[in-house]
Structure 1
Amino acid sequence: MPAIKNALLRYRIIDRSIRNEYVPFPSKEQLRQNCEEEMYGSSNGEHICHSTIEKDIFAMRMEHDAPISYSKRERGYYYTDPDFSMDDVPLTEKDINAIKSASIILNQFKNTSLFGQYEFAIQKILDRAISTQKTKSIDKEVIQFESLPTVRGNENLELFLEAIKGKNVVQFQYDNFIKNEKTTRRVHPYLLKEYRNRWYLIGKSELKNKVITFGLDRIFNPISLEQKYVPDNNFSADIYFEHSLGITVYDKLPNEIIIETNPVLSKYLMSQPIHHSQKIIEIKPNGNHVFGYYLLITYELKMVLMGFGKECKIIAPKELKKEIMEDLELQLNNYKE
């Protein structure tokens, strides 16, 4: 959100704080905490400092004629005109729409405690932004995100995030879908990653002494231990996933993946590449495009390419071409009587 919109929101919060009859004469620190709590859902000083509040009070006096004064006796701020209100300087319709859009974006995470706190903060601001309007209309939905049933495990996002920040070892039971067994794992958590509406924890397994990806939907009874870990300085999320499409990574060199696509699919791939390594190798007279990638051969890559159907043909490497042909044959067998 642009700085000017943040400032206008702070002005309104400061205004309400000063006019609060139950907590009169708010101090500079109280004003700072009120602004940060309503705008960001916290009050630890990470987002708003005292100098910001000082500048806001000065701007409210100069730009909006706010009669703000400081009482040495009460050690706080008050209005010399008790009838003054910043409600006369409402947010514009454009400002309100911007806040509504942010709220809609966060709404897709409404079932997780981690993101819910931010949705609540924005909703509080929005409620107050339109509170002075005499009439309220029901907005027709104009933005819609992909909606899927809530995946189990998302309720543990906050626990893992705090463990990552605090460098705490985590312990949990992990359900291996392939082996159909649960084992206890102790992990040094490094990263939370979302892929196709599922969340994953990336961390160093104490058992295997290497970085592994764990699906949150397969994690049970997680706890954050008091034990601290020393992060592996060689780990970089960007480097770790550099040659991966999705969340699967293994210790092999990436391959040069070459595919040929028909004209329609080519346009989609040019408008939204499936990977940052995508490059156009050739454009054929019939409009087909030959694309190149530098990727590991993973389950996710094969699912994406097979999802393109007859509009895509694998050129190289032979290993990938063979695997997809075998998968297609098995799939075809499923439909034979």
Structure 2
Amino acid sequence: MPHIKNALIRYRIIDKALGNSYNPYPTKLDLRYACEMELYGDTNGKHISDSTIEKDLFAMRQELDAPIKYSKAHKGYYYENPDFTINEKPLSEDDIASIQFALSTLSQFKETEMFQNFGFALNKIIDRVNVDSDSRNTDVDIDQLIQFEKSTAAIGNEFLQPLLSAIKNQHIAYFTYESFVTQVRKQRKVTPLLLKEYNNRWYLICFDSVKQKVITYALDRISDLEIIEQKGEKPSDFKPDLFFRHSIGITASSEARPEKIVFTASNVAAKYINSQPFHESQKLVKENHELALFELFALVSEELIRELLSYGGDVQVLQPEGLKNELIKRIQKMRENYNL
């Protein structure tokens, strides 16, 4: 059974590698390294052989109808149909059994300190697997009975493992980064410091050797990642557990200073804001049957501004003055957009 489970996992790792537009035409060695890293955390070649990858590719063609081809020109493998993915295939009984086995093990530890931050995610996976298992015994399409929240494909997740290894060993990383604002692609040389997830996207917090400061880069805009076994620069004052303590979202800076933010919210909006606070420092100061007064101590960031604007006229910022003026400027721009 463990061999079967490992093979099923390797199929999905290979599938992800073949669908990676940032690294097209992976070689047999690339596929082996990807499987080694995902399953064992290293690429020393002790666990998976070339023949194992060859058997996996053959099995994927035969059992999953995967349109895997070899390009002599590019000396690598690819999907003849670029839209193909085995993720569109329904889970087999072996898939379900493997996932249930793993989840039953993990669920025993979800209340421990190590897993407390992942309890919600584990519960969602357990719910989904249980629902899928039950649905196999009925003729009703499960989507007609229950719908789960869906997220967009997480581009760049294949970089998580090598970047995590670079953080552990303080190794230097090179990659190409495309700016959202300018669409310009530039080469970066950094020392990875921390990986952070926000809104179903992963971000790399690192010390940029050219800019000589800590910068945040989104993994979905990274390509051509290369880790070299050379020690990089790491700021002595960088503390991963403290870097985001005053942040809302992914915006953080060692130079920026948090501010006291005071705002009011209508009675209904206040209930939502109180149940899902903007920041852990948020507190309800007072309320009546019409309004609630909130305070929090955090960095003024783009994420906070968008959260506040999402409540429209149900929220009014009282301080700081800079945040209030920024909101007024954006509201005026919205009025112009609608000719008001």
- Report the counterpart of residue 99 of structure 1 in structure 2: 104
* Partner-residue secondary structure (3-state), 2:168: helix
* 1: CA distance, partners of 2:147 / 2:232: 41
User: Who is 1:252 aligned against?
Assistant: 256
Amino acid at match of 2:222: I
For residues 294 and 332 of structure 1, do their structure 2 counterparts lie closer, same or farther at Cα, with a shift above 3 Å needed? same
CA distance in 2, matches of 1:291, 1:182: 42
Aligned to 1:238: 241
The alpha carbon displacement at 1:100 in A equals 10
Q: Which residue is equivalent to 2:279?
A: 275
- 1:311 paired with 2:335, answer no
Q: For residues 206 and 142 of structure 2, what CA distance do their matches in structure 1 show?
A: 43
**Deviations along 1:98-152, whole A, 9 cap, x unmatched?**
63996xx9xxxxxxxxxxxxx9xx99xx9xxx9xxxxx63695787543122142
SS in 2 for 1:259: strand
Partner of 2:300: 297
Deviation string for 1:147-201 (max 9, x for gaps)?
1221422222222122222321100111122233222111110111111121100
Q: CA RMSD in A?
A: 3.6
**Which one of 263, 273, 288 corresponds to residue 267 of structure 2?**
263
Rounded Cα–Cα distance in structure 2 between residues aligned with 1:241 and 1:288: 30
Work out the CA distance in 1 between the residues paired with 2:223 and 2:245: 29
2:291 to 279, 288, 291: 288
Select the residue among 183, 198, 203 that pairs with 1:200: 203
SS at match of 2:277: coil
Structure 1 length-normalised TM: 0.58
Task: Quote the offset at 1:287 in angstroms.
Answer: 3.8
Alignment of 1:1-337 (within 5 A): 42=40, 99=104, 137=137, 140=142, 145-229=148-232, 231-250=234-253, 251-283=255-287, 285-336=288-339
For the residues of structure 2 that align with 1:320 and 1:175, how far apart are their CA atoms? Answer: 29
User: Which residue in the other structure is 1:89 paired with?
Assistant: none
> What is the CA-CA distance between 1:43 and the residue it aligns to?
10
Give unmatched runs, 5+ long, in structure 2. Answer: 3-37, 43-99, 111-121
**Cα distance in 2, alignment partners of residues 310 and 146 from structure 1:** 28
**Aligned positions, number:** 223
**Larger deviation: 308-317 or 221-230?**
221-230
Mark the structure with the bigger radius of gyration.
1
Alpha carbons 2:176, 2:222 under 8 Å: kept: yes
Identity %: 34
Structure-2 separation of matches of 1:191 and 1:163: 10
* C-alpha distance 334-180 of structure 1, shift in aligned 2 (>3 A): same
* 1:231 Cα deviation after fit: 4.0
